Structures are given as structure tokens and as C-alpha cells.
Structure 1
């Protein structure tokens, strides 16, 4: 088991306002005409999340992408919300909420949302237990598939690092989460590609970790699962891959905000999730920077520079070391990577 130490923390002199950050980005970038609709939607998403660096949801009304979390009967394709949610949505609303964009509404009652979603449903909902972007349909697009595959890989990366560090209890928890939280979102796309073996491969990693097998055996099992994940990424456009990675950086920001609530690392597990997600994003961006075409290489290189700005928010896997506890570092990187990726055809 790991020794508990208080991390040396350097608090940000002031929490950056993502609203100001993204406004600067918007002023310095020009949206291609072909992506005007996406640009407007992205701006809405970014501005919403900029004002929520603590990953708390706003109570809004609208219609579009979001997570529905209603505490009522859940009836939603691909939702894991307590409530009634239709579509791929992220709406957590009180009352009757329809969320527009990737807005969060917390609902006790009925919530309706179209888009990529996360619905935790107790009731008649189809979908899985928990996690970001789960549910039927969330894995249908290239961006969502990249995000969800990388989400699972990020948990495995964190678990492997913890196992190698000797924190077996924490490693076991992380290794179990890909199947528990996310596999339902990618099951159909993987089956269509003949890659449903991934479920068994991830389950084998979790079983070996529970049995406290030698680290070399865990690493070999991880490498086999990662090879399947890489095969699943084949055929995805560079644009979809990078946009999916930007979405995962945003998820990492949400989990990081929970981890540092109260001005200290109060939830080490969420910190480790965020750490693992960003390691996968970095590896994937480097791969695109090395193998993509000219435009994709340029965007990936720019994205890596933005991602590097998040390093200040982290110490090691156990939350030790000097760090600036500022979720806006992650949200800002997500926004900039997304805007860069929109330049790709």
C-alpha cells in the first residue's frame, strides 16, 4: 500500500476564468466556413464549461447535447441517468429540463437531451452504469469512439502505474472500471469491427490484477488490450481522433475539478483518473504528429503544446509533488485543442 503524504501544493494566484480564456481563443482564431455550425456549437460548449471549472452543472433549459440525470424513472436510449432521458444527452436538471449544447442540468423529473450523452438511469433506461458519454449511440461517431476507447485505456494506464508503484488496492479499482463504466458504449462499434475480444482482454487484466500476478504479466495483458484499441482506431479520421481526444481532456478536467474540491487533493481516485486520461491523450497526439499528413501533424503538434500546459496541475500518480490546483488549465487545453482540430478537413 502506498504511504499517505500531504502533497506540496502551490495554489493558483487566481483561478483562471475559462470564459476569458476562450474569448481570447475565439478572437485569435477564424472558423472555416464549412465548420461554421460546429464553431457556434463549440463556442457554446466551451463557454459553458469555462464557467464551470469546479465541474458543477448549471440549471438551464435548452435542447441539444448534454447529460440527463433525472431522479425519476429512466427511459433513455444509451443513458445512465436517474431519470427519463432521451438521446445522448448531458442534462442534469431540476424539474423538466431540456439541455442545449453540452450543457449540464440536474433534473428531478423528466430530462430530455439530444446529443452525446451520459445518462444514469434507474428505471427503464438502456445503457450502462456510470462514466462519461455512455449509452446507446455514444459510440456511433468516430469522435465518441475515440473518446470512449481512450477513456478505458486511461483507466488501465492509471491502474498499471499504481500496480507498478505497489498500490495494489488502488490498481484493482482502476482496472475494473473500463468494463463497469464504459464498455457498453463501445460494444456495438467494436462488434461491427470484429474486435469484441477487447472485453475479454480487459477482463483478463482485471482478473490478473485481483490475483496480484507479477507486474510483467499485467503489462503483457495491457499491451494486448492496447493493440486491439489501436486497431479499433484505424479508419478514424485524424480530425475525429483529435476532437475525441479534446473531449477526453474535458472529461479529465471535470474529474480533476472534483479531485481538488476544497483547495486540496480531496479525491485521489478522480485525480488518478484525470492523470491516466491525459497520458493517453499525449501518446495519441504524438502518434498523429509522427504519422499524420502535413495538416494533421501541425494540429497535433499544436495540441501537444496546449496539453503541456496541464503539467503544472499534476505531481505523480499518488498526488505527490509541487502542483497548481487549477482545473481551468485542463479546460483551457481542451478548448484550444478542439479549435485547432476544427481546422482539419
Structure 2
């Protein structure tokens, strides 16, 4: 989906806590006013308003994570006719519910507030009375939505409930995306947002090729889910492909096939353990190499050493000696020392 010449990753953070209580809701209205109007009540202004929003943009896609108290949002006919927003906003309610939606141009059977994923066409009017929530929103260009959804105008106001097909993976993927985006490199950020866009379009699409799109999106989302599980449980000695499949309730044959490019899921686990071991060997010179190996699930020091040499073409001890030499060189060189300090500061702030 992204173009070849993508703009750099953009990140902004906004919180109403930086404002005086009587200015908080009005500040929120100013922050989101380029997309939607906030209708403040007098008593709501007086008691203050808690809201924060993180915005990420990469590869032509925009993703936000917002936490707010209850509020009323509206895009009126007058607003639609005067601004230029024509994209779609997909709201994934990670916490809380959709609220009561009214003012839709299309006819929909009335339904109460539910936990799910709501689609809004910014070229049409709507009004949302929304309870306190944590909502993850992805903005998709109109042309992209129209290419995947028949009669995309009718998409406005549709809600995919949290028990619908693909919904579980959508919630997991978007939640993981929100937590992981701040630390991702530009290409990885694009991949995460692109996978989210594909999952959304597959969940809402009605076209025949939607099945193919959903499979590709689902594969991306599930593989990321498996990789997150591996990273979380990397230090457990009993971490095996079968344990992962059972813990995540996935189909074994499918997952094994999807990890064929990595040499199989077992090979992927071993590779991640070796990478983690290499990092620990370089970063913690006082730790015994055998302790690092056993802590990462290797059954013997000799097995670890053979696997390490195959992966990096050096022994664990040789890598440690190289790391120590680099550390001494960095300490002796003021320019290198300054760069190392800057690098540590960037990692800690990230």
C-alpha cells in the first residue's frame, strides 16, 4: 500500500493535563477540531476534562491512540460542506464502547453502544455521544477504501462487533501496534500500519477478492502475535512451537507453514535466543556466558556454543572479547564516547 517515496515517520503527543482545568475541554476541541467538532457542556468545562492523544504517521497512513472522558463529537452537514476531509476513520475501541451514534445519512438498524470497530466516512455527517474510552483510530484514504469495499458510502456508521471474524486479531494487532510504534524503525512502522489497514479493509469488505486480502492481512497479524509471544517468553526453557500454538489457540500446520521462510518456528525461536544472547554477552561483561545460555533456555553450554558459532561465525567468548575491545576503544576516544552517550540516551528515552 505505501508508496516508494514515503515521508518520514511522524509522532506527536497531546494531553489536556498541561492546561488549566477550565481550559482542558476547549484545548481538546482545538486539538481535534481539524477532523471533528467537540460539543462542550458548561458543567463539563467547569469540572475539567482528561484526554490524551498520540498520533503516528508513516507510509501515508495515520494512526492515533486517544484516551478520553465521556464527550460528544459531531460532523455536521455545514462542517462536511466546508472542509476538505474525505477520508475514512476506523475506530477500534480497545477499552470502552462505541457510544450512541446518530445523524447518519444512511439507514441503519438502531443498536446500542457496543464494544467493536466503527467506520465513519468523513464526507458524511454523524454525531457520537461517547463514554470514557481508549480508542485506536486509523485514517484511510477514500480511494483505498473504495478499492476494497463495494459502495463505500454505505460503510458509514457500520460496526464490526468484537466477536466477528477477524475482530479478535484486529483488537490484538491494534493494541500491539499502539504499544510498539514508538520504538519501531520507519520500515517496521509502515509494515505495522499497513497490516492494520489490510485487516480493517478485510473485516469490512464485501468484494470477492476480500478473502485473499484477509488471508494476507491475517497472516501478517498472526505472525506478529507469535513473535510477540516468543519475545515475552524467550527466557522460559519450555518455550516450544507446540506450546506457542496451544497458548494462542492457533492451527499448528498453518503456523508452521507461515514460518517456513524463517526456517520454521523452532528455528525462529532459536535465532531470537541467539540474538538475545549476543546482546547480553556484549552488554553485560560480568555475566557468565553459561548463565546467559541457560537463562535463555539452552540445555548445555556446548550446545549453545555450537549454535552460536553457526549463527555468528565466532564463539561466544570471542564475541565478548571483541565487545570489550570496542568498549575500551570507545572509552579512550572522546568522539566515540560522545556518540555512545548519545546512543544510550536515545535508547533510554525510547
Q: TM-score range by the shorter chain?
A: under 0.3
Q: Which structure's residues are more often strand, by fraction?
A: 2
Larger RCO: 1 or 2 (CA < 8 Å, sep 6+): 1
Q: Scaled by the length of structure 1, what TM-score is found?
A: 0.25
